[in-house]
Structure 1
């Protein structure tokens, strides 16, 4: 495989399948607005695996908006000015009204927190302590949400793709990047370019406040309600003293409840600019035609006003052993972790090989702890290198 940037590699590997075990010839084209296009022609394949990656994950967040990168993974499927609504003008008016109401509601919540701090009320979440105006705001908010729901065409983005033969549409957020991908028939490649460029050029982040609650529920199911989920989260926070890798990709609960749409829009404008994106195609297509489509559709995206900010905070050297002991209704587990090297470091390949030697049924850890000493039911090791830490 030709040498390409670390952050565009994931989209190629996902779309190309077992690319790691074979040579993949990649055609690279860069648009004037900075977007990188990667092409892997495979004649005879009736479908095209198509996707794009944004160079942004949870490490690009800051305290107060943790989880916003993952939240955008959800919001990017909410449609555009032409997809997902029956009346865009009314839709936008309601969104503006919802934002104004939410600002007033947040001010009322701050006042309740102040009264709680002074000991005037016991529980700021108790509906009985709300002012009349606070309750009126909440009622108005729910009424507007119901009006907006009548305007929406649910799952419209997915419906259009499915009707044209698309399949496997999905997305994922990691510490370092966010990826969106789908399979489309080779003769529907222009549809993909239009759909994806439209949600980047003309997004409408409708149902923003409802989606915050959806993500909060996802967090509850995946973390809070699992036997060791909360302990794993606290272990990460303990291991990473200063690095942003210490907060969860899904975000802290208080941040999920408080992120505003303005904060989210600022995040989008910064990190979803074309100069921070890479798109990739794998399948039966003409590279020249694909480049022409990319120029026509992705080329209309405006370059970001300034380069995206890079995470500044690095992990402090660990000076002493840290140990966490937790009790849960699950089989006993032992995790021993060391700080190592970041992705791409000269020592990373050796550490990856070491992890492979230790893991699996023929691995030294398994043979020693499971087969010989019989003190464990499974054992493995490995190297995890991220963009800034390891």
Structure 2
């Protein structure tokens, strides 16, 4: 076995040397009258154009899917916010969705005077200090905003994008970037570019005070997040001068309370200029055609100088800075070291340093702390920005361990790094794995676009990104040790996040807002023009399970096979028909395996062996299946599979490892009970299935503690005796795969019979009930849960259309009403969830996350929508169009073909379910949706799952919704 492993490593090294011999140079070419630059041997085939006005256009064509990931990126973010108006870049990002003078307005001539009044009122509001006077002015703002909204059309941008089949429409703001993102069908690119050109011409700050309230909600969510507090505190201590630490992206409460529309427009005119912006596209298109289209759409933009951000250099940290934070989430440690910016020569080494510390498998902290179970978890990564970087280390204690002990262990591994206590071959292994990840990165159009966009906003040379693996291979162990000793001394900041009551935070009070008009059934002339633009929609491609999947038998196990014709990556899975519903100790056995070795190899040896050959294996037990996944480069298929099979056949019990695992799981259980997201999920499961449900179907603490090594090792060794399916996606032929697996993977003559699955039946809601768990937070998280009927494939189409129409996106009724019109929540939705098996039931899950003082209004608003659904014919047409376009451009490929087939089988289907949806979607009428809504939701009882602070949401408010039951954490989690 070791000889074979050595051969595999040799093959990887040979491959890496071949990779390193390539030349990476900037070249120039032209097409269709446009000159562009490109980097030789770039797997993404990216073209870099600079238009006459300075706009950067980056095009990376790939024909696999008839879609395009599109970004419009601005090299400006919170770093360049004025000190007097923090959060401004983020404000502006929200407002760019509100339209221009051409769309988003019913009558611009009438709307503009009202918006001008609002501008003036906000300036007056900002200069006024007296609370009573400020409230009076805000009342005027609210009143005039109501008048202005009569001439506005909310969400026209979202509706335009939906009508052309866009997905993932959104935006994000960070330190140095504001990025607008859409994933559009190739056939709609002309429409997309027409809209983007108009979108950035003259953004109008309409429906401002309700959108500002959404930003308030976003701020309050951050005030509830211990993770956000840790991050902000760390950066504030690392950067005493620079805006990385002195300003947050979302801004201060004080600045949020005093916005200036004049300052927002000034920011737009200063930074949203072509020489500071980029259009990045990757997908199915002809770059010679597309560059002319982009030029036409954005040629009106005029180049202007952009002021460079300047700062006073940071003073060196000469001794550790220790800060403590308390909050309801689980305790953890965060350590940060300040590093140079991304242009520094040492940055390449910094990336390797992060990987040497943790790479998920064979880093110093992986092997010495996590694999040996000295910590619950640990990670290290470089966070590199233009002016500075940070080595960001995070760790969590195991049972009975203090944060001070965690810090000592982490710093011990930093010390090992500085002393060079790691093998040279670890660097080679890291580079091989990065090489594999680069293959993954270039596979998908959206990953390509993301990498190119990040490089653009970070002002990185793309040649260096293409040559990344080659350049990394030149770094020696001595370079890494020198770097560690240079930058990683007593100059760190440590944040000790302790569990406890959050200190009182400056909360943003709820203003009085009168719901504004959304004119959801109206349409501007510009939108009509865009909708009428010609396009040739793609023809849908449906799966044929009999043709798209090849099958064979490995003994009694079925083999499902799809070839990889793109590269040398393989993914092999053994899918065993046993899970937690059969045996609660099976998931524990799967977890235990990662800490075990054989008589010849320790658990650490096995991790290093897999990592050396750029392969990986995982084992995970779900409710019904336990799945072993092995992936990597095909040239190392034999070595990887034999490593795994040898481990399973010769696994050796380790009582010390099990004792440590139990301690870690005990701490993980304690920690998860402090996580509000997990609490809400537990309440949801309680609402679906009752007191005993899938969420708390776990081993009790005493059962877990009593479990022996022998019990778990027996389960590991017996796993291969159960009914199984072999799934393979890779470059080998099915014949070659079968011949290899017949030797390496022994399937039993007869499968063992698993213990019958435990059955959980969904409950019937007969009256309104409230399941409530108290949590120290500013927000209130509320879900409406209602089980309905058993799965019926005939309902697939109406369910799909209803979700798009009612509450599945930003153009939906729920979002428009609760967020856009009433400003009651940052996040809200309402979806009818399809079961995964034919004998299970659908259920409705609606959600509102709001400030606690908006709880009554928010719950009333959602209940009204569940009681009476608005009738908007235009929105229905939009919902149907989106369903069709999604199917037209969706390409299910790779091993997703197999998983789609398996999912269809669970529902009793023998063909691609999209086929019937596509052929019947045009037949859905409004009366169908109304009947569907009335039958399943209107006037029906619900179970409310609510996580909130009982200090902020009074019991009397909960009782208005239904019979209240307070659920303890022990009831919820089952331990």
TM-superposed CA distance for 1:231, in Å, is 4.0
Partner of 1:388: 387
Is the aligned partner of 1:105 residue 2:125?
yes
Kindly report which structure 2 residues correspond to 1:292-331, keeping only aligned pairs within 5 A, or say none.
Answer: 292-304=292-304, 306-331=305-330
CA distance, structure 2, for counterparts of residue 375 and residue 264 of structure 1: 50
Task: Quote the Cα distance in structure 2 between the aligned partners of 1:370 and 1:228.
Answer: 21
Report which of the two structures shows the higher radius of gyration computed on alpha carbons: 2
- Write the distance in 2 (CA, Å) between the matches of 1:258 and 1:313: 28
**2:303 alignment partner, SS class:** coil
- For residue 256 of structure 2, give the secondary structure of its aligned residue in structure 1: helix
Say what the alpha-carbon RMSD is for the aligned residues: 2.2
Q: For the residues of structure 2 that align with 1:137 and 1:66, how far apart are their CA atoms?
A: 22
Q: Deviations over 1:25-50 (max 9, x none)?
A: 11122111110111112235311222
Report 1:140-151 matches (<5 A). 140-151=140-151
Report whether the alignment pairs 1:139 with 2:139. yes
5+ residue gaps, structure 1, are 5-21, 113-123, 125-129
Match of 1:90 among 85, 110, 114: 110
CA contact (8 A) 1:2 1:25 kept: no
Residue 323 of structure 2: SS of its match in structure 1? coil
Partner of 1:18: none
Map 1:1-390 → 2, pairs under 5 A? 23-43=43-63, 45-109=65-129, 112=130, 124=131, 130-131=132-133, 136-221=136-221, 223-246=222-245, 247-304=247-304, 306-359=305-358, 360-372=360-372, 374-390=373-389
Q: What is the CA distance between 1:135 and its match in structure 2?
A: 5.3
- Residue by residue over 1:142-201, the C-alpha shift from the partner in whole angstroms, topping out at 9 and shown as x without a partner, is 211111222221111010111122222121111111111212221221111111111111
2:168 is paired with a residue whose SS is: strand
- Counterpart Cα distance in 1 of 2:173 and 2:227: 21
The answer as to whether partners of 2:142 and 2:209 remain within 8 angstroms in 1 is no
User: Counterparts of 2:26 and 2:215 in 1: how far apart (Å)?
Assistant: 36
- Residue 89 of structure 1 and its aligned partner are, at CA, apart by 1.4
Q: 1:338 to 1:97 in 2, by over 3 A?
A: same
Contact 1:66–1:251 (CA<8 Å) still a contact in 2?
A: yes
Bigger shift: residues 206-215 or 289-298: 206-215
SS in 2 for 1:176: coil
1:87-124 Cα deviation digits (max 9, x unpaired): 11122111101112222233332xx2xxxxxxxxxxx4
Partners of 2:118 and 2:144 within 8 A in 1 = yes
Is the 8 Å Cα contact of residues 197 and 301 (structure 1) preserved in structure 2?
A: no
- Whole-angstrom distance in 2 between the partners of 1:204 and 1:269: 13
Normalized per residue, which structure has more strand?
Answer: 2
CA contact (8 A) 2:59 2:282 kept: yes
Find the aligned partners of 1:209 and 1:300 in 2 and give their Cα distance: 30
- For residues 331 and 136 of structure 1, the distance between their equivalents in structure 2, rounded to whole angstroms, comes to 43
| Counterparts of 1:3 and 1:75, CA distance in 2 | 38
Structure 2 contact 99–157 (Cα < 8 Å) conserved: yes
Query: CA offsets per residue over residues 198-235 of structure 1, 9 Å max, x none?
Result: 111121121233322221210111x2112443343223
Q: Comparing 357-366 with 261-270, which one deviates more in the overlay?
A: 357-366
Q: How many residue pairs align between the two structures?
A: 351
Q: Give yes or no for contact 2:126–2:260 (8 Å, CA) kept in 1.
A: no
Counterparts of 1:349 and 1:254, CA distance in 2: 40
Deviations along 1:359-385, one digit per CA (max 9) or x if unpaired, are 12432213222343x442001112111
Change (3 A) 1:106 1:72: closer
3-state SS of 2:336 partner: coil
The residue that corresponds to 1:8 in the other structure is: none
Which whole-Å deviations, capped at 9, do the CAs of 1:278-303 have from their partners, x for residues lacking one? 11111222222212112211111122
- Distance in 1 separating the partners of 2:207 and 2:387: 34
Give per-residue Cα distances to partners, 1:42-88, cap 9 Å, x unaligned.
Answer: 23531122212101011112311111111121111111111111111
Aligned-partner Cα distance in 2 for 1:188–1:314: 47
In structure 2, distance between residues paired with 1:198 and 1:84: 12
TM-score normalised to structure 1 length: 0.84
> Using the alignment, how far apart are the partners of 1:315 and 1:62 within structure 2?
20
Structure 2 residues without counterparts, runs of 5 or longer: 1-23, 28-41, 390-975
Q: Cα offset for 1:357?
A: 2.1
Paired residue secondary structure (1:303): coil
Pairwise CA distance, 1:319: 3.1
Cα distance in 2 between the residues matched to 1:319 and 1:61? 30
* Bigger shift: residues 307-316 or 281-290: 307-316
Distance 1:322 1:169 in 2: 41
The answer as to whether partners of 1:65 and 1:259 remain within 8 angstroms in 2 is yes
